[in-house]
A and B are shown apart, each in its own frame.
Chain A
Amino acid sequence: MSKCSVKGVAPRGIVCALPANRVENDYFAGRFDEKTIKDVTALTGVSTRYVAAPDQTAGDLCLAAAERLLEDLQWPRESVDALIFVSQTPDQRMPATACILHGRLGLSKNCQAFDVGLGCSGYVYGTWLVAALMAAGVRRVLLLAGDTSSRMINPDDRSTAMLFGDAGSATAFEHDPDAAPAYFDLGTDGSGANFLTVPGGGFRPSDKQDPKADTLHMDGSAVFGFTISTVPKLIKAILVQADLTKDNTDLFALHQANRFILQHIGKKLGLSAEQLPINIDKFGNTSSASIPLLICTDMAKRITAQPMTVLMAGFGVGLSWGAAIFKDVQLQCASVIEI
């Protein structure tokens, strides 16, 4: 059952948190030659990104975002029924970062909390889990999604060193019987698991002699091929499922993987620049936080001023993908903080 719809799921607000340390492309001069920096910038579109401090985790970023979100929405902490933390860079090996965050936020003991280990598709999967919880009777959920991918990067790998940024996000969902149904279409192709991987750090023994075992390995052309063959079809299918067209969908909030990929998808689907905002130039690929960060930067004013029909699509590491449509979304808050 990869396609489904759920009634009564209302997004209420989003806050994103960025680390204060902004890194420009000239930081890489000396490590890479000028032509390499120019070529990578042209392909990925990334000019700056934010990098977490050595002692700053994805949990820290999401915590700050959640604190601000609860304050902006004036939600009492005891009213939160569930906390989901989505990340590929959890704070500790155990316990689940969601449990740590539950304690740091001072949530009720009746609040469930669990982690989801997904990256690029993680935010969309998180919204599906929120919907599934609400269908089961849960009323208020915090979805925290963030990554500090910079911790896994080999600084000499030109295909990843200049691409990724760090960020955290917090999104509040509330059960509302009047909310329009939300639509979901999710999928996986584990045969491509090796296209984007960090082999070490888990419990499967890895080559301890290899200093790169704990760093990110990416087969860029394989991931690119997967993306352009999967995502346009995914978007077309969920539009049909939700009885929408590209013209009456206000926002296509796509995972900010790479500017070239996004422009190619936009061209294939015939989307305008206004429908398909791109902010990877300023933040890099922020993994699970990229979709909420896009909404809180390029769309913040519009989505807090008027209802919008939003299609979200996440795709990448796994290989994993998901799309979701929320109709008539008007957020009470959408902002970005730096910590």
Chain B
Amino acid sequence: MQNLYEGLAEILEVPVEQITPEFSLAGHEWDSMAIISCVALIDEVSGHIVSGSELAKCTSVADIQKLVPSLRAE
């Protein structure tokens, strides 16, 4: 999970400490560039390819984690 959070912090240009399941993507340029970067990040950390359109619907980090079983916050 730490790899995902570190990667998201880099993509969204915020300190990694700020990344939690509740972190809101809407206020942080969750645009096509960020989404493509996140597709690659999830592939790297979990080996799963998620669709960009599914990622585009996410509003929080928890939503991203729900897309991939191994990334779900239990």
Contact = CB atoms under 8 A, between A and B. Distances in A.
A272 interface: no
Interface centre among B35, B37, B39, B50 (most CB of A within 10 A): B39
Contact of B51 (A39, A225, A267): A225
Contacts of A260: 36-37, 40
B45 to A, nearest CB: 12
Contacts of B39: 221, 224-225, 228
A225 B44 CA distance: 13
Please tell me the size bucket of the interface on B.
10 to 19
Nearest to B52: A221
A228 B32 CA distance: 16
A40 B32 CA distance: 10
Nearest to A222: B52
B49 A225 contact: yes
Interface centre among A42, A220, A225, A268 (most CB of B within 10 A): A225
Interface in A248-287: 260, 264, 267-268
A338 B26 CA distance: 47
Contacts of A159: 32
Interface of A: 39-40, 42-43, 159, 219-222, 224-225, 228-229, 260, 264, 267-268
19 contacts: A39-B33, A40-B33, A42-B33, A43-B36, A43-B37, A159-B32, A219-B52, A221-B35, A221-B52, A222-B51, A222-B53, A224-B40, A225-B49, A225-B50, A228-B39, A228-B43, A228-B49, A264-B40, A268-B43
